[in-house]
Amino acid sequence: SQTIHQWPATLVQPVGSPLSLECTVEGTSNPNLYWYRQAAGRGLQLLFYSVGIGQISSEVPQNLSASRPQDRQFILSSKKLLLSDSGFYLCAWSAQGYEQYFGPGTRLTVT
């Protein structure tokens, strides 16, 4: 069966510091991968998605970036965090279809 991992679970970072969130998927090959952000009490905002290694599509202009160095690894990064980057970050995967399956998420607080 497929499993999706995200770490860390929680993170507190000062403004201006770098960020690296990692997501890995097990039990499937060539998944579509997604990064979402959810502000407190709000809906989901798609940040990036990837249909293959090195293929990243950005949905929202921001100071975040994403990379997919391996088939089942998706990384969300920032060189300098802003207060507005605080939120709940969710990674998801899907097969070449529609259902997306989500990881446990990372709660990021930028102070």
Partner 1 sequence: AQKVTQAQTEISVVEKEDVTLDCVYETRDTTYYLFWYKQPPSGELVFLIRRNSFDEQNEISGRYSWNFQKSTSSFNFTITASQVVDSAVYFCALGDSNYQLIWGAGTKLIIKP
Query: What span, in angstroms and rounded, lies between the C-alpha atoms of 70 and 76?
Result: 13
Smallest distance, partner 1 to C-beta of residue 98, A? 4
Judge whether 8 and 25 are in contact, CB under 8 Å.
no
Cβ proximity to partner 1: between 41 and 61 the closer is 41
Smallest distance, partner 1 to C-beta of residue 18, A? 24
Query: What span, in angstroms and rounded, lies between the C-alpha atoms of 15 and 24?
Result: 26
Which residues contact partner 1 by CB under 8 A?
32, 42-44, 46, 49, 88, 90, 92, 94, 96-105, 107
Cα angle for residues 37, 108, 9 (degrees, 5° grid): 100
Cβ proximity to partner 1: between 13 and 105 the closer is 105
Cβ proximity to partner 1: between 10 and 79 the closer is 10
